[in-house]
Structure 1
Amino acid sequence: MEEVTEAVNNLTIAEGAAATAGAEGHKKNRIQVSNTKKPLFFYVNLAKRYMQLHEEVELSALGMAIATVVTVAEILKNNGLAVEKKIMTSTVDVKDDTRNRPIQKAKIEILIGKTEKFDELMAAAAEEREAAGAEEEQS
């Protein structure tokens, strides 16, 4: 899990934005979640990083990844970091190479915003990590 956190911390936002830009264009505050590519806390930590740069972050997913997006939003809300601003559901046509025709998939977009305590909670978490790192160095 530590390598995931480290990977997220080392990720430049330009790379992340390019990786998450969808067919609808290049949105700097959108995270498209997949349930196969990355672990759950990769997306939680990525959303925290995006929220440090933007007041709002849009979490988006198709099909089976919807459960992951809902879980990410709930973790952020339960930790007091985010508030839900808008939830949009729809269906989209996705090209199915095996059947040679489009299939419909469910889509969800959850717009979350920072809470008033966001910066304070993130600073406290950073201090805890630094203190834990200092303890490890001493032992």
Structure 2
Amino acid sequence: MATIMVAEAINDPMAVFDPKVVVDPQKRNRIQVSNNKKPLYFYVNLAKRYMQQYNEIELSALGMAIGTVVTVAEILKNKGLATEKKILTSTIGTKDETKGRLIRKAKIEILLGKTENFDGLTTAAKVEGKGNGNGAKGKANRVNAGKNPGPGENGGIKVAEEIRN
């Protein structure tokens, strides 16, 4: 019976109330950022996908990954996709497996909300990102990488001209 109550409580927390049953479902809109497991833009793109499903997301990190989570939040804010709602910092204690002692780590949680023009910006980015359709997004300029430009060519680099009076 407790299993049914937990399942019902996850779907509708007010449907079943039994003080003996503790329901703590993991937040579905939380992204736990790691410092070395995935590249930065993996988390940026994941946050965009989560924001399409939910109106707000929570980015969290421990220790050295705090810089990464702050950078992800700033990228989303600078692109106009998110606004910061809340920032929580704390210190947690974790047990070191090798030495058997308690290690204190800094923790950050950043709650980001979807902006009003989020949907318009993401659809514009999808249309813009289609490119030439061959899947070489951003790599087309690497074809001539390492080759010296010919006479009269500057290798695609715009050179500032001096203006003389």
Root mean square deviation of aligned Cα: 1.4
The structure with the largest helix share of the pair is 1
**What TM-score, normalized by structure 2, do the two folds share?**
0.65
Q: What is the aligned length?
A: 112
**What TM-score, normalized by structure 1, do the two folds share?**
0.77
* Partner Cα separation in structure 2 for residue 38 and residue 25 of structure 1: 25
The structure with the largest strand share of the pair is 1
Tell me which stretches of 4 or more aligned residues in structure 1 moved more than 3 Å.
none
In the alignment, which residue of structure 2 is the partner of 1:60?
60
Q: Does 1:94 align with 2:94?
A: yes
User: Counterparts in 2 of 1:57-136, with a 5 A limit?
Assistant: 57-130=57-130, 132-134=131-133, 136=134
The structure that has the greater radius of gyration is 2
**Unmatched 5+ residue regions in structure 1?**
1-23
* Partner Cα separation in structure 1 for residue 101 and residue 65 of structure 2: 22
> Aligned-pair distance for 1:94?
1.0
> Aligned-pair distance for 1:126?
0.7
Cα distance, 1:89–1:128 mapped onto 2, change above 3 Å: same
* Partner Cα separation in structure 1 for residue 117 and residue 132 of structure 2: 24
Higher RCO, 1 vs 2 (CA within 8 Å, ≥6 residues apart): 1
Q: Deviations over 1:65-119 (max 9, x none)?
A: 0000000000000000000000000001111012202210000000001111100
Q: Deviations over 1:18-51 (max 9, x none)?
A: xxxxxx7511000000001000000000000000
Cα distance, 1:99–1:25 mapped onto 2, change above 3 Å: farther
**Unmatched 5+ residue regions in structure 2?**
1-23, 136-165
